[in-house]
Chains A and B, each alone.
Chain A
Amino acid sequence: MTSADIISALEKQFGDKIKGKKADAIDPWVVVEPADLPALCRFLKTDPALRFDLLNCISGVDYLEIDPKKVAKAGFEPHLEVVYHLSSFTHKHRFVVKVLLPRWKDGKAGELPEVPSLASLWGTADWHERETYDLCGIRFTGHPELTRILLSDDWEGHPLRKDYEFPLEYHGIRGR
């Protein structure tokens, strides 16, 4: 199936729940609301014509320009994206699903934005979501055990956020 076919199949099934799409990108993608993500992904996985049986990776992207001089030219509002790369062994096609999120839930600094977890759908999602939570600070609701996977449990902050401040000291060891 070509990417245009995949997108049209999704639009036929979900209609205006598809918030954005690009079929001629190197990795063609659609954008959905976080609430619609599990239903869309279940369809992508179980539909016999699509059958995306492999979740390659989950990426967290922080769109934030920290240099005040470059903000005007940046061309995006500050936000977070979660990008799901999917493949099908059966049909040998690939596809990308994106979710756009605010940097903080309800605009309150420190409250992590939330996405439904896909760990029940693809086993791969379990650890990938933990890593995304650990480094980018995105809370995956319904995840079986959402704890830090790389950093130690008592770490503060999420290092791959653009506005992350490096720790001055960690348990008596000098940082920075």
Chain B
Amino acid sequence: MGVLEGRFEESVITTSLEQAINWARESSMWPMTFGLACCAIEMMATGASRYDIDRFGAGAFRATPRQADLMIVAGTVNYKMASRVRRLYNQMPDPKFVIAMGACTCGGGPYYKYGYNVVKGVDLVVPVDVYVPGCPPRPEALLEGLMRIQDKVKGMKDLTKNQPLDVPIPSRTGYVLVPPELSTPELADAWAKKNKELATPAKA
């Protein structure tokens, strides 16, 4: 407070209710202690004195989802854990945010092909707001992810505009929607044949 002390007269500050609430929200993003694998080490480093996530108001790691605003999914999520991740997410009070930290939570990472037990991206289980790639990401990257969450909070208008807060869980299924011309194997064959003919250069 040293810089600001004694600089102002006693006065009234005008602001919109929304801005004030968003400011309060973004400045006290309490994350949930949710380390699943090696990314958790980096998350701890982010919380420790050198990188100090508390500078952004997100240093109060809560041991219960009921008190948390932000879920940092730090580490590999496997199928056995997925139902627990979903339950913890459902237990968090609104508004809630999710950071997918690390390659495994973004899309399976090194376990994408031969991981029989790894969920190929935590966005198949809970809706993700910010993806932080890396294996594991640097603490700076996680801080950047947190700041993007804060940007998102800054733009929230849930008080006045009644923005819908509930996103479908999960927000994506991971299945590719096949266009109608490829929907059956016969149609797909015909489509591939046609494309091949189009690709052959006309003889001079």
Whether A174 contacts B83 by the Cβ 8 Å rule is no
Of B40-48, B112-120, B139-147, B178-186, the segment with at least 4 beta carbons within 8 Å of chain A is B112-120
B175 at the interface (CB under 8 A from A): yes
- The contact of B124 among A152, A159, A164, A174, by CB within 8 Å, is A174
Q: CA–CA, A167 to B119, complex, Å?
A: 11
Q: Tell me whether A166 and B79 are in contact in the complex, defined as CB-CB below 8 angstroms, given that A173-B124, A174-B124 are known contacts.
A: no
Interface flags for A133-156 (1: CB within 8 Å of B; 0: not) read 000000000000000001110010
Report the count of interface residues on B (CB-CB < 8 A).
13
Minimum distance in angstroms from A171 CB to a CB of chain B: 7
Q: Give the residue among B79, B116, B117, B174 with the most A Cβ atoms within 10 A.
A: B116
- CB interface residues, B 170-200, toward A, < 8 Å: 173-175
Report the count of interface residues on A (CB-CB < 8 A).
14
List the 5 shortest-distance A-B pairs measured between CB atoms, nearest first: A174-B174, A159-B116, A152-B80, A170-B79, A173-B124
Question: 28 A-B Cβ contacts within 8 A?
Answer: A150-B117, A151-B79, A151-B80, A151-B117, A152-B79, A152-B80, A155-B79, A159-B117, A164-B116, A166-B116, A167-B116, A170-B79, A170-B82, A171-B79, A171-B82, A171-B83, A173-B82, A173-B119, A173-B125, A173-B174, A174-B120, A174-B173, A174-B174, A174-B175, A175-B79, A175-B116, A175-B120, A176-B120
Which B residues have a C-beta under 8 Å from some C-beta of A? 79-80, 82-83, 116-117, 119-120, 124-125, 173-175
